[in-house]
Amino acid sequence: MDFPAPLVRGQLVRRYKRFLADVLLESGELVVAHCANPGAMLGVAPEGGEVWLSPAPGPKRKLAWSWQLVRVGDGLVGINTSWPNLLAEEAIRTGVIPELAGYGSLRREVRYGRNSRIDLLLEAEGRPTCYVEVKNVHLSRGDGLAEFPDCVTQRGAKHLLELADMVAGGARAVMLFVVQRDDCDRFRTAEDFDPTYHAGLKVAIAAGVEVLVYSCRVTIEGIRIARKLELLA
């Protein structure tokens, strides 16, 4: 995925009301940017940190800027939670995720389960339908370890139950974690932030839900899923 327009560098002044951020551009202009991330953003929203914004695609947008990246250490981290579904679709179509290759049909946001929508539905003649739930990951507290979630996610726990139900019904179900950073080589659930989700993932795995974790190459030009990470039980 390439950004449609060049990103603009700035300095984060503060993030507030979850979806807003004040950013000081290099030009000296102070702007309000949309922050497409409802999570706690632990470690990826440092006041004074280097951030990268994209200009709004059209005049109808309420805010003229969207926050896309933040520099953490020597690398960049994607903070926009609306990208992972697109990144996953792109990676599946181009064969970057071999575990999900060989399906002739890929649909997004298909209704299933208890009034939910599956992120990606893969179908092929002669194969079980594959339900793929995608989660964004940006949390890392060091030592090359990516973690999810960074706060309690009741919705995420619900999705695990629904994936397990799909397996029980004869389908294939995959929980795909997309890590929008490239400084990690392992992944685990953050039990201290959400013990219910941590336990729920173990139950889902025991029920036959597959878990895949892939990190991304993140640059100011774009973001692409790049390599598989080790899953720690």
- Report whether pLDDT(39) > 80: yes
In angstroms and rounded to an integer, the radius of gyration of the C-alpha atoms of the chain is: 18
- The pTM score is 0.95
Contact call for residues 34 and 19 (beta carbons, < 8 A): yes
The answer to whether residues 52 and 95 belong to one domain is no
Please check whether residue 2 lies inside any domain of the structure.
Answer: no
Which residue, 22, 50, 74, sits at the end of a domain? 74
**Residue 189 binned pLDDT confidence (cut-offs 50, 70, 90):** very high
* SS3 assignment, position 203: helix
What is the average pLDDT across 200-214?
Answer: 98
Last residue of a domain, one of 74, 93, 109: 74
Given a cut of 80, whether residue 9 has pLDDT beyond it is yes
Q: What's the confidence (pLDDT) of residue 222?
A: 98
Examine the domain organization and report whether 16 and 105 are in the same domain: no
> Are 152 and 127 in a shared domain?
yes
The CATH number of residue 188's host domain is: 3.40.1350.60
| Beta strands at 172-179 and 210-218: parallel, antiparallel or unpaired | parallel
Place of tokens 């974790």: 213
What does DSSP say about strands 116-123 and 145-148: parallel, antiparallel, or unpaired?
unpaired
Domain assignment present for 29: yes
Q: 55 and 128 share a domain? A: no
Domain containing residue 134: 84-231
What's residue 115's pLDDT?
A: 79
With H, G, I as helix, E, B as strand and everything else as coil, classify residue 72.
strand
Are 103 and 183 in a shared domain? yes
1 domain residue, yes or no: no
Q: Tell me: the pLDDT tens digits for 142-180?
A: 999 999 999 999 999 999 999 999 999 999 999 999 999
Instruction: Decide: helix, strand or coil at residue 38.
Output: coil
CA dist., res. 16 & res. 10, Å (int)? 17
90 and 204 in a single domain? The answer is yes
Examine the domain organization and report whether 176 and 102 are in the same domain: yes
The total number of structural domains that make up the chain: 2
* C-alpha to C-alpha distance for 145 and 30, rounded to whole angstroms: 34
Whether residues 117 and 18 share a domain: the answer is no
Nearest-angstrom CA–CA distance, 136 and 194: 16
Residues 128 and 162 grouped into a single domain: yes
Same domain, 162 and 183: yes
92-104 mean pLDDT:
97
Please check whether residue 79 lies inside any domain of the structure.
Answer: no
For position 139, what pLDDT does the model report?
97
pLDDT tens digit sequence for 106-155: 999 999 987 789 999 999 999 999 999 999 999 999 999 999 999 999 99
Residue 149 domain-assigned (yes or no): yes
Structural domain ending residue among the three candidates 54, 74, 94:
74
